Structure 1
């Protein structure tokens, strides 16, 4: 479909203005220019997002959910590029409307033409209803829905209803790939008229011993009855059915046992399956998928491994109860194998993190302290985290060493001192804290 002359002129002006401000910001080293150019562009051409997405040759892929968006996006991008397709992607993680526009503008020429086979857009779960009809995606990947920043977003059922309302308006040929182990998303898929594909686990040996405190959705989304779980893999994700109505876990379109996973943690099994299922449907060969998984490098802060002052460091971004519980689960497995004894936790309460930190009391931190070792805490809310960990100790005479450091540089130095040469220091930060940690470790900013 062609673009009207007036829209084309406005688009060209928007692109020129956006690229000018991008160059200025980067030249002056004021940041990555991941949001402001899009803000300017949409004021000049209100339809800029739609006009750019319409030009993507084979379509746009939206990736949405509470956890795992950045990792899944990067894996899928790598798979498509290794299969020979040109991909544009909001790799900085700026996932609101202005960030999406900025990412697309980066790959346009001065007349507003974009040369891409696919666009992969990581979209904030609360922003999806506002942008999905403009984007008209070919594929939507729905990873999960957990409580995240309640001061901004509210509960998961509210977000799900908003998703259903807008996705139902998309063309029937749209493919929706969703997490069948998530009752909320499984039910969502069963209500939509589009082509629905589900991913999930079929590995009972990975069941948790009990349902965690940070569980969000254990009631039937159809009738409200408590769900019967055969077992849970992560928070409320698991094998379930309703004892009162016909609702049950959706049939899976992929066998989780057939595929290795990227990185560590059960959550990355889900990220892997989502990207693999999408890549299969698009046409990526199995041998390319397997080789990509084997050689995958983590996105910044997402199980990213670095070396600092001769010691190994792994950064595990954790910004909500479910994410931190799974990080603790992964770290404990490494601790139990004798490959780690020190953990650095950094808790901030800035806008990217969510200003309400009461969520840390929903985390099963008892499981982290019970194995002992050294835990260093830092961040804007260092004493909140220290108090939570102290309350987690059943025995104050245990072999846990809790160290409080307000200054982040001192905290990192102290944690490294307590990390032996053959171990890995695990740093567990919230989002803004992760950016600060990486700047110290690498000497450069991301955003």
Structure 2
């Protein structure tokens, strides 16, 4: 049944890609789980020894890409969910689409970024060598609830971890201290010291955390920090996370802002004057990947929010454009142009000779939709 499911998944992926109906990754895994509900048991048997799981509210995709990039530069073959599909169906898709028809995976390492709620499910089925936890903050309250409830779920699942699994934790996250007692595993800590970051092209305190976590992971496999940072000389940001796209002679900088923490991180980065920009585009959706509850926008720090838009042209779009415009108004921002029609807003920006360099602060689904408009594809 497992080999049949692999074939079906590959066919679904091929059909979706050929007909340009999407990336094909999510549906391949979704249908595979319907065909073979116990597929995770099979997957656990074909994965290589070196399995790294990455979870947390923010930074998962960037951390996975940094770690995979360095390992590949060292000559290792790495499997990771590069599309960012971090639910169980995304994990299943990643494995099946990279498997040969015999069901084998010819890789040295597997790196899975995994959704916070899906993490307990995954560790029931596979034995990771390392689990790296970046952070936890309020995110999609209609799905994730409050942080303490999520921590409780993690504590319950971590109590069942194999004793050989090492757990890497961000030392400034107070909630992670409870996990140490629950897991009884070797716990290693990383911080936000920028000294390693300064040797790379990465920017921002949040990326200092991502990089230091990656270096901690790599250190477990004998790769030194100096060597690892040197191997990042040609590293490109993950899609939508610092990605630059030129469209109709306009420069768009995409900074994924899907919750208060990531929003504040990106605003603070912009206030460090690392980027030259004249326009800010806010995009807020409430689609399934985003959650219907957008009340989190009122947890964005209003003072830097106002400051980052001073003397800039401000545009707003998305299914909840009106909500975002109200939020910005409360922060003291005026003279905004908004519409729930993304193509209309993009056309307005490209037609405005005063808009040359545009910073975009989108949440997840809106980031994909914007990429589809200005790059021609939503993911890779």
TM bucket (normalised to shorter chain) is over 0.9
Greater CA radius of gyration, 1 or 2?
Answer: 1
Contact 1:262 1:272 in 2 (8 A): no
Equivalent position SS for 1:134: coil
For residue 368 of structure 1, the aligned residue among 305, 309, 332 is: 305
Name the counterpart of 1:122. Answer: 113
What are the Cα deviations for residues 57-103 of structure 1, in whole angstroms up to 9, with x where unaligned?
A: 33211111111111111111111111111111111111111110110
Give 1:275-354 correspondences, 5 Å limit.
275-334=214-273, 339-354=276-291
The separation in 1 between residues aligned to 2:88 and 2:155, in whole angstroms, is: 19
Between the aligned partners of 1:197 and 1:298, the Cα distance in structure 2 is: 26
- State the SS of the aligned residue for 2:156: helix
Give the structure with the higher percent helix: 2
TM, length-normalised to structure 1: 0.79
Contact 1:318–1:327 under 8 Å retained in 2 = yes
Report if aligned partners of 1:419, 1:425 keep a CA contact under 8 Å in 2: no
Choose which of 357, 366, 375 in structure 2 pairs with 1:433. 366
User: Which stretch has the larger CA shift, 319-328 or 54-63?
Assistant: 54-63
Give the alignment partner of residue 18 of structure 2, picking from 11, 15, 27.
27
- 8 Å Cα contact 1:303/1:316 also seen in 2: yes
CA offsets 1:205-249 (integer angstroms, 9 cap, x no match): xxxxxxxxxxxxxxxxxxxxxxxxxxxxxxxxxxxxxxxxxxxxx
**Could you say what the CA RMSD is over the residues aligned between the two structures, in angstroms?**
2.1
How many residue pairs get matched?
376
Local SS of the residue matching 1:305: strand
Q: In the alignment, is the contact (CA less than 8 A) between 1:342 and 1:426 conserved in 2?
A: yes
| Deviation, structure 1 residue 128 | 0.8
- After superposition, the Cα gap between the structure-2 partners of 1:52 and 1:363, relative to the gap in structure 1 and judged at 3 Å, is same
Distance 2:337 2:27 in 1: 40
State the match for 2:346 in structure 1: 412
Give the drift of 1:338: 8.0
CA distance in 2, matches of 1:341, 1:17: 48
Match of 1:59 in 2: 50
Task: Output one character per residue of 1:172-197: Cα deviation in whole Å (capped at 9) or x when no partner.
Answer: 11011111111112332354211111
| Long gaps (5+) in structure 1 | 1-9, 203-255
Report the TM-score, using the length of structure 2 for normalisation.
0.92
Aligned match of 2:97: 106
1:377 aligns with 2:311: no
Contact 1:129 1:163 in 2 (8 A): yes
Counterpart Cα distance in 1 of 2:275 and 2:289 = 34
Q: Which residue of 1 aligns with 2:195?
A: 257
Q: Note the C-alpha offset of 1:258.
A: 4.2
- Separation in 2, partners of 1:380, 1:40: 28
Deviations 1:6-39 (A, max 9, x none): xxxx222222222222222222222222122223
Q: Distance in 2 between matches of 1:370 and 1:174?
A: 45
